[in-house]
Structure 1
Amino acid sequence: MAAGFLQRERIIAPPGWSRWLIPPAALSIHLAIGQAYAWSVFKAPLEKGLGISGVESALPFTLGIIMLGISAAVFGTRVDANGPRWAMFVSSCCFVSGFLISALGLWLGQYWLVVVGYGFVGGIGLGIGYISPVSTLIKWFPDRPGLATGIAIMGFGGGALIASPLTSQLLAAFGGTGDSPDVHGIAQTFLVMGLIYAVFMSVGWLLIRVPAEGWRPAGWDPSMGRQSAMITRSHVSARNAIKTPQFWLLWVVLCFNVTAGIGILERANPIFIDFFRNSTPAEVLAAAAVGFVSILSLANSLGRLLWSSVSDYLGRKNMYRIYLGVGALLYLTLTLTTNSNRVVFLLCSILILSFYGAGFATVPAYLRDLFGTYQVGAIHGRLLTAWSTAGVLGPLIVNAVADAQIAAGVQGPGRYTPAFMVMIVLLVIGFISNELIRPVNEKYHEPAAAEAGAKTGVQA
């Protein structure tokens, strides 16, 4: 009975169901799993409380991002087949279990359980939870797919805005802060956060619905929508999608766009300090750097909604021309101006991070344009392996270059400008890859039976 409650057939929306109830359901999942971006709040307490290094304290987050891509790729087809309630329920169970296992590990003094719990088990929840709301929203908003995916993925980017203060307050309440934090207090924080997210995420899988067969928005005529050779009316399966050059070109586009953004995001605080150490009083610099990180987090979140919504009018390919081409010029500006103008530095950084977030939000609609709605969740899941790769590649480039420059005695912006030049090259490669994307060859299209099933998301 429980399994039946989770299946797609049980959540077909009745007549009159408002599609605007679906974005809150999606947000309840994405705002929760977006907590991953707030992992840095745990880093200092864990390092001081357990006596571990910065590399060790980053392991749960790194493994979580890797598992996000792997689980999205592995379980993507099953997510499409079983429906969003099943997927969101499984995501909730895995993500919450990650917190509970971590709490147990810290209570017992076994840090490896934190890595396994938060990183491996929780990371599976990240991947499954990430793709399911997105593919469902695309089906509910065929008239505005960019807006729909932007709403959901904005939640993932904004999750840290909720999780950061919540984590800080709980750590302080349980004695998990200071120079000698109580490890049991950190464990209690994980426990309480797990319970909070269990309730919060339940709203999503209880509320979610899929449209009935033949449903379309009132007054919407597909033939009157935006026409483009890049927007297909056919459908491609996940199995065939990975055989197309379009999939792998888009994989490169997403990977290098994410690499360029996550590199600066991961090391934002020290980058700001090194750029303006000589022009800002020490007592102001630390607070300004914290503010800089918050501004970038906000740009990351808002860019997902703003730019992906614009893509409904300008087209997905044109938007990636902006993300990649303008992004390369912004990095070039940072490299040439260094610390000479704080306003220029701030504007460039904000735009780079807004393009970083927008890349995530726009890519599901790009996939829908190229491959149709049939198994788009599974295709999206496979594409997210590009994120896993970039999650390692971006920080590795920036940190390796910075460490080498520091070892060589380089001070200030010079510690990062070589890495920025690498980012420019990657963005140019991504720009070229985007230019090479063409409509998918008809030989990869599904037969009529599959196309009919795609109207309701039912697999042929």
Structure 2
Amino acid sequence: MNLDKKRWIILLAGCFINLCLGSIYAWSIFSSAMADYFNNSLGMNVTALDLGIVYTIANSVGPITMISGGWFNDKIGPKKVILVGGIMWGLGMFLSGFATSINFLVVTYGLIGGLGLGMAYGSTISTCVKFFPDKRGLIGGITTAVYGLGSVILPPIVTKVVASTDATFAFKAVGIAFLILIAVSCLFLEQCPEGYKPEGWEPAVAKAGAAPKNLDWKGMIKTPVFYTMLLLLTCGAFTGMMVIPMASPIAQNMVGMTPAAAAAAVSVLALFNAFGRIVAGTLSDKIGRINTLTLACVLGGAGLLCLYFTGAGSVAQFYVGLSVVGVSFGSFMGVYPGFTADQFGPKNNSVNYGIMFIGFALAGYFGPMIMKNTVAKYGVYQRAFLIACVFSVVGVIFTIIYRALNKKSN
């Protein structure tokens, strides 16, 4: 089978892997259930907000292995790298089923799982994008969308499992299932040959004076546009990283929804997150990456304002705000793999995108932290939404700076 056909099988395998990895977005379901388990079974006094540190660490450590895993991915291929990362992610989930404290979860889910997730996710995205130089936006959108779909499928399953057993059993069952699915999917992966071009496709001729392509990480971090892109990613991801891990508690405490209805809201958020990745990825191939990201920043601000004005019982308005936030966040996740490859070249994108993902990690750290501290101080979620809205506005400013820098370099 030639590569033009085989690449679609590789894409499908990558999507199955990302489906498992994307379960991190279902953390709000696990956190609520684990808080109940700690309180009711172990006599502790913790809330879902207290468990936010676990999610924060899992996202914050990801770039470490995205960068190192990206280097190994370019040297030895994705199969071994993603297998190791996938084992760590599944094992972290499984071991979390034995948790007796928040610190235990920090080690198992946050560190073991988070490091494994970063290694596998970065290599999966990079490998798929390299095989489709003719469709970078679309493929980046599809692979990251499936990552988001993990939290569409998982919340109702976890909710039912928890209702009949408890949160610890859910962690163990999901961890074992992910180990098996990722290991099998890795059998179909292979490394993309350098300089691969699909039959009948030729890359666009670079404009005279355009920035050199295929920069390594050292060359990338010397460019001003890199820092603009990294901070833009931080602003764009901040909204989602603040709302997603707390979606279930917000639905229950701010709107008054039941746990089952809150789980459904998390699935809706994930669905629009995935939808935004595909649509934005495809749209960015047509109107440009930066135009798409500008629109995503505006949508993020609009969604946050909608949530800000949502009160108890305003279920429909809550769903609208949540959905718009999901589309905005998904747009950034879908566009950035191709955006990074366009700007700095595809050859070293495994490492380059891992470094760029530090912007996401910053959002993953500060988003939940600001949410927790704001709610603890004021007792409401609305002030946190306003802070996130400011980040969306700053994101628009960074898109303007990017255009100026890019115009100057060309």
Q: TM-score range by the shorter chain?
A: 0.7 to 0.9
CA distance in 2, matches of 1:79, 1:255: 25
CA distance in 1, matches of 2:15, 2:93: 20
Alpha carbons 1:370, 1:439 under 8 Å: kept: no
1:304 offset after TM fit, Å?
Answer: 1.3
The match for 1:425 among 379, 390, 403 is 390
Q: Over aligned residue pairs, what C-alpha RMSD do you find? A: 3.2
In the alignment, which residue of structure 2 is the partner of 1:176? 166
Q: Which amino acid aligns with 1:38?
A: A
Q: Describe the SS at the equivalent of 2:204.
A: helix
When residues 102 and 230 of structure 1 are mapped into structure 2, their CA distance, relative to the original with a 3 A threshold, is farther
Alpha carbons 1:368, 1:376 under 8 Å: kept: yes
CA distance in 2, matches of 1:345, 1:311: 28
Structural mapping, 1:66-215, within 5 Å = 66-103=60-97, 105-106=98-99, 112-172=103-163, 175-176=165-166, 186=168, 188-215=169-196
**For structure 1, which segment, 189-198 or 375-384, has the greater mean C-alpha deviation from structure 2 after superposition?**
189-198
Q: Which amino acid aligns with 1:204?
A: S
| CA shift digits 1:278-325 (9 cap, x unpaired) | xxxxxx766654433332121112211121111111110101110113
| CA shift digits 1:363-418 (9 cap, x unpaired) | 11110111001211111111222222211211222332233222xxxxxxxx3443
Aligned residues: 402
**For structure 1, which segment, 249-258 or 31-40, has the greater mean C-alpha deviation from structure 2 after superposition?**
31-40
1:441 offset after TM fit, Å?
Answer: 9.0
> Is 1:253 aligned with 2:232?
yes
Question: What TM-score, normalized by structure 1, do the two folds share?
Answer: 0.77
When residues 172 and 325 of structure 1 are mapped into structure 2, their CA distance, relative to the original with a 3 A threshold, is closer
When residues 210 and 249 of structure 1 are mapped into structure 2, their CA distance, relative to the original with a 3 A threshold, is same
CA distance in 1, matches of 2:51, 2:312: 31
CA distance in 2, matches of 1:26, 1:367: 19
1:208 offset after TM fit, Å?
Answer: 1.0
The match for 2:267 among 291, 294, 299 is 294
The match for 1:265 among 212, 233, 244 is 244
Alpha carbons 1:157, 1:297 under 8 Å: kept: yes
1:74 offset after TM fit, Å?
Answer: 4.0
In the alignment, which residue of structure 1 is the partner of 2:42? 50
| CA shift digits 1:127-181 (9 cap, x unpaired) | 01111111111111111101111111112211123333443444455x326xxxx
Q: Which amino acid aligns with 2:277?
A: R
Query: Any stretches of 5+ residues in structure 2 without a counterpart?
Result: none
CA distance in 2, matches of 1:229, 1:289: 54
Q: Describe the SS at the equivalent of 2:61.
A: helix
The match for 2:217 among 233, 238, 261 is 238
When residues 194 and 421 of structure 1 are mapped into structure 2, their CA distance, relative to the original with a 3 A threshold, is closer
CA distance in 2, matches of 1:169, 1:333: 30
1:271 offset after TM fit, Å?
Answer: 3.9
Alpha carbons 1:76, 1:381 under 8 Å: kept: yes
CA distance in 1, matches of 2:160, 2:245: 23
Q: Which amino acid aligns with 2:75?
A: A
In the alignment, which residue of structure 2 is the partner of 1:41? 29
CA distance in 2, matches of 1:285, 1:332: 23
Structural mapping, 1:282-361, within 5 Å = 288-332=261-305, 334-335=307-308, 343=316, 345-361=318-334
When residues 347 and 115 of structure 1 are mapped into structure 2, their CA distance, relative to the original with a 3 A threshold, is closer
| CA shift digits 1:334-384 (9 cap, x unpaired) | 546878986555334312211102211111111011100121111111122
Alpha carbons 2:194, 2:347 under 8 Å: kept: no
Structural mapping, 1:403-442, within 5 Å = 403-406=376-379, 415-437=380-402, 438-439=405-406
CA distance in 2, matches of 1:232, 1:212: 24
Structure 1 or 2, whichever has the larger Rg, is 1
**For structure 1, which segment, 199-208 or 156-165, has the greater mean C-alpha deviation from structure 2 after superposition?**
156-165
Question: How many percent identity over aligned positions?
Answer: 27
Query: Any stretches of 5+ residues in structure 1 without a counterpart?
Result: 1-12, 178-185, 278-283, 407-414, 443-460
When residues 26 and 230 of structure 1 are mapped into structure 2, their CA distance, relative to the original with a 3 A threshold, is farther
When residues 215 and 377 of structure 1 are mapped into structure 2, their CA distance, relative to the original with a 3 A threshold, is closer
> Is 1:380 aligned with 2:361?
no
1:99 offset after TM fit, Å?
Answer: 3.2
